[in-house]
Structure 1
């Protein structure tokens, strides 16, 4: 008898869960678009952080420095480590 009562309780819990799921309100398209926009922005930021970069900044004497670590307490600019594709120059063409 105890086993049957356990199955009844489990069945009632399953029915209650399905009833809750079915009673939820319809999805809000505007909220879904906003959530997707935030996810896309976060993915872009993560991808940008994954790219190897160098940091360009000026020291106290005004000399430009390029380092792998950002300076502390100074303004700096992030520059990509890998150069963008450039024009190919070959001397064998006429």
Structure 2
């Protein structure tokens, strides 16, 4: 009867050690969540309609719907945010 008890205790100990070694640290979980949030934000940014601003060989400014191949470009959102944004100080009276 004691042999079965030793076997059961050994199995329980093995399962406990496997669980302990297989779990992730809390900081690793938070880092994974931060990477997932960054990836979701980047994917959302990529799905917005946009235009691409770049310069050709002659230095002429080009704005196209497709990014140029092998050139630096700036991505511009096509849709502007709704509403009016005001920033800065109130206008001063010029007398």
TM norm structure 2: 0.62
- Paired residue for 2:19, among 19, 24, 38? 24
Count of residue correspondences: 71
Is 1:75 aligned to residue 72 of structure 2?
Answer: yes
Residue of structure 1 equivalent to 2:8? none
Give the deviation of 1:82 after TM superposition.
0.7
Give the deviation of 1:84 after TM superposition.
2.9
Question: Which segment is superposed worse, 77-86 or 38-47?
Answer: 77-86
Is 1:54 aligned to residue 51 of structure 2?
Answer: yes
**Aligned-residue CA RMSD (Å):** 2.5
Give unmatched runs, 5+ long, in structure 1. Answer: 1-15, 89-94
Change (3 A) 1:48 1:21: farther
What is the rounded CA distance, in whole Å, between the counterparts of 1:42 and 1:20 in structure 2?
35
TM norm structure 1: 0.63
What is the rounded CA distance, in whole Å, between the counterparts of 2:66 and 2:52 in structure 1?
7
Give unmatched runs, 5+ long, in structure 2. Answer: 1-10, 86-95
Give the deviation of 1:23 after TM superposition.
4.6
SS in 1 for 2:52: strand
